[in-house]
Amino acid sequence: MSYQVLARKWRPRNFAEMAGQQHVLRALINALDQQRLHQAYLFTGTRGVGKTTIARILAKALNCETGVSSEPCGKCSACLEIDEGRFIDLIEVDAASRTKVEDTRELLDNVQYTPTRGRYKVYLIDEVHMLSTHSFNALLKTLEEPPPHVKFLLATTDPQKLPATILSRCLQFNLKRMTVDLIESQLAKVLDEEGITYQPVALKYLAHAADGSMRDALSLLDQAIAYGEGALDADEIAAMLGLVSREPLYQIVEALIEENAEAMLAVVARLDEMAADPMVVLDDLISLFQQLALLQWAADVSEQGVDDKERLLSFTSSLSAEDIQLYYQIALLGKRDLPLSPSYRRGLEMILLRMLAFRPVSGVAPKGELPAQGKKANIAQNKKTEVSSGGQTNAVSHQATAKSAESGEQSWKHIFDQLQLKGMVTELAANCEIKKWQENHLVLTLAKQHAQLYKKEFEKRLADALSKHLGRTIQLSIEVGELVSETPAGEVARLAAEKQQAVVSEIQEDRFVQELKDKFGAEVQMETVRPLDA
């Protein structure tokens, strides 16, 4: 027996087998059970969501030999012939190939005759929007006064092209795109029934690639089974679909955080060796930045079903909302401009370098340097420390830092400014305070709300930087808990808020602004006021 493709083999035979589209099925089931039948039904929606499948099941329900109901028997000659595509009273028409008015008139000439075998003569017109204006006019007359034994089932992917006169004479059902979870579960069901082994991640790849179409998903599944020689391996499916694994994308984000152009270009070189499509890389980066933005603004909603949650949360702590929005926009515009580049690889490199070049100055700079105002505040505080310690020139001597956590608070801010940290270690250190410092053992407290920043690797890198800076081996321990003083990151945020408030006050008290308000009724949009060096 010849092989039957999965999309045909697993096409639903009744409403109960349908995946999704419950809003449509409920209306049709109730109408059939209550014998409230309309003369014309219009099914709209993107490809592969079940338009013609529902239409065929409806035709079966209308002509089943056991009677009109929402549960056709599936065993009588009418049901079997409709399933096999040879029922004489189900006339299927592809409007894309029969657009002329002569074709429509020839089709409608037989409307007046009663069905040969079934209860109803059913006309299933697919892609009905492709009919010509004259064809619609010919169809309209029949839709206005159809014979009682005729039902019209129309399907289209573009209902906007249908005349209003046609739309007004049909019951319209809009079929939705299939969700990724729904497609994934249906593919799992098919593979379990077929006895084929698979990795769940492979199904997720296929479900995303199907883009809301169950038919596309089953066609891709056929291809995947052949590609994997009867088994679905996630890496093989990713290669088949031309997907980029998440790890290189994460490495690009880490390089952005650390402002490490060399590391970023190295990732691009590896992607080029893997023959990854730069357009796909940009698509995946856009999706990643969108996911990071959602995690920042609506964590409770976006964390559901998120892979690598802890890693993504660490990125959101290291990138400001402005950074993520900027990267998203650059990637989006870069995708538009990429075809104009002489080389796709060079174009991708320039897009990523553009992200580095235009990154705004963040509150805690990647190289451990505080903004100018923060530095001035530290210098002033260090001078106070020098005076209080009897005019010593070394404000952060070993004796001063070892005395108690109170002097250590000031020392930590100064040390943090001098460590020249990079990347996410900077963020970790910036959100800590000294809990205890005894000789060469330093205990830091990390703010609870930034607990996701902690990693053993980052703790070790921070300990190495401290040891190098102080000239002796430092044993470092980091604990998550409540803070009792201001961290370097907290100081930067406070200084920025104070500066913002000062600018707002200056605008509010400006004489020229007051004159504009008095004379012209002008209003200052305070949310747009920013310091010039923000």
The domain segmentation of the chain, as residue ranges, is: 6-174, 180-241, 247-357, 372-487, 491-528
Q: What digits encode the pLDDT tens for the residues 106-146? A: 778 788 888 888 899 999 999 999 888 888 888 888 888 88
For 90-213, where are the alpha helices, taking DSSP H only?
A: 101-108, 133-144, 164-167, 180-194, 200-210
First to last CA, the chain: 72
Most confident of 62-76, 409-423, 517-531: 62-76
Do 124 and 55 touch, CB atoms closer than 8 A?
A: yes
- Rounded Cα distance between 17 and 14, Å, is 6
- Rounded Cα distance between 195 and 226, Å, is 14
According to DSSP, residue 114 is labeled: P
Average pLDDT over all residues of the chain = 83
Q: In the CATH hierarchy, which top-level class contains the domain 372-487?
A: alpha beta
Residue 307's pLDDT is: 62
54 pLDDT exceeds 90? yes
Do 72 and 79 touch, CB atoms closer than 8 A?
A: yes
β-pairing verdict for 441-447 and 432-438: antiparallel
Average pLDDT over residues 17-30: 92
For 34-170, where are the alpha helices, taking DSSP H only?
A: 51-63, 77-83, 101-108, 133-144, 164-167
Residue 4's pLDDT is: 83
Residue 300's pLDDT is: 59
Query: Where is average pLDDT lowest: 138-142, 385-389, 427-431?
Result: 385-389
Residue 504's pLDDT is: 84
Residue 295's pLDDT is: 86
When pLDDT is cut at 50, 70 and 90, the band that residue 224 belongs to is very high
Residue 197's pLDDT is: 92
Strand order in the sheet with 475-481: 432-438, 441-447, 475-481
Mention every residue, 6+ apart, whose C-beta is less than 8 A from residue 266: none
Average pLDDT over residues 305-332: 83
Residue 361's pLDDT is: 53
> Which secondary-structure segment (H or E) carries 530?
none
Residue 360's pLDDT is: 65
When pLDDT is cut at 50, 70 and 90, the band that residue 261 belongs to is very high
496 pLDDT exceeds 80? yes
Crossing angle of the two packed helices 200-210 and 234-241, in degrees rounded to 10: 20
Do 216 and 48 touch, CB atoms closer than 8 A?
A: yes
Average pLDDT over residues 454-480: 89
378 pLDDT exceeds 50? no
Residue 396's pLDDT is: 36
The percent of residues above 70 in pLDDT, for the chain, comes to 88
Q: In terms of pTM, does the model score above 0.85?
A: no
Do 6-174 and 247-357 show the same overall fold?
A: no
Do 351 and 282 touch, CB atoms closer than 8 A?
A: yes
Of 95, 151, 21, 3, the C-alpha closest to 12 is: 21
The alpha carbon torsion through 123, 127, 128, 132 (nearest 10 deg) reads: -130
Token pair belonging to 347? 């174009």
Of 428, 486, 437, the C-alpha closest to 458 is: 428
15 pLDDT exceeds 80? yes
Is the pLDDT higher at 307 or at 74? 74
397 pLDDT exceeds 70? no
When pLDDT is cut at 50, 70 and 90, the band that residue 230 belongs to is confident
SS3 112: coil
Greatest alpha-carbon span in the chain: 112
Q: What digits encode the pLDDT tens for the residues 152-187? A: 999 999 999 999 999 999 999 999 999 988 999 999
- Rounded Cα distance between 338 and 345, Å, is 9
- Rounded Cα distance between 394 and 396, Å, is 6
Of 38, 59, 42, 39, the C-alpha closest to 143 is: 39
- Buried b vs exposed e over 272-283: b needs ≥16 C-beta within 10 Å? beeebebbebbb
Residue 53's pLDDT is: 93
Average pLDDT over residues 478-491: 88
Q: In the CATH hierarchy, which top-level class contains the domain 6-174?
A: alpha beta
Do 198 and 231 touch, CB atoms closer than 8 A?
A: yes
- Rounded Cα distance between 477 and 435, Å, is 10
Residue 214's pLDDT is: 93
Average pLDDT over residues 28-45: 93
Token pair belonging to 506? 């200056």
DSSP state letters, 463-519: HHHHHHHHTS--EEEEEEE--SS--HHHHHHHHHHHHHHHHHHHHHH-HHHHHHHHH
222 pLDDT exceeds 80? yes
Token pair belonging to 353? 């370098």
Residue 27's pLDDT is: 93
Token pair belonging to 395? 């404000």
Q: What's the CATH fold of domain 247-357?
A: Zinc Finger, Delta Prime; domain 3 (1.20.272)
When pLDDT is cut at 50, 70 and 90, the band that residue 483 belongs to is confident
Average pLDDT over residues 23-27: 93
Of 89, 148, 85, 86, the C-alpha closest to 116 is: 89
Crossing angle of the two packed helices 372-388 and 405-418, in degrees rounded to 10: 140
Residue 310's pLDDT is: 78
Do 167 and 132 touch, CB atoms closer than 8 A?
A: no
Residue 373's pLDDT is: 36
477: left (phi over 0), alpha (psi -120 to 50) or beta: beta
Residue 229's pLDDT is: 85
303 pLDDT exceeds 60? no
When pLDDT is cut at 50, 70 and 90, the band that residue 68 belongs to is very high
Crossing angle of the two packed helices 214-227 and 234-241, in degrees rounded to 10: 110
CATH architecture of 180-241: Orthogonal Bundle (1.10)
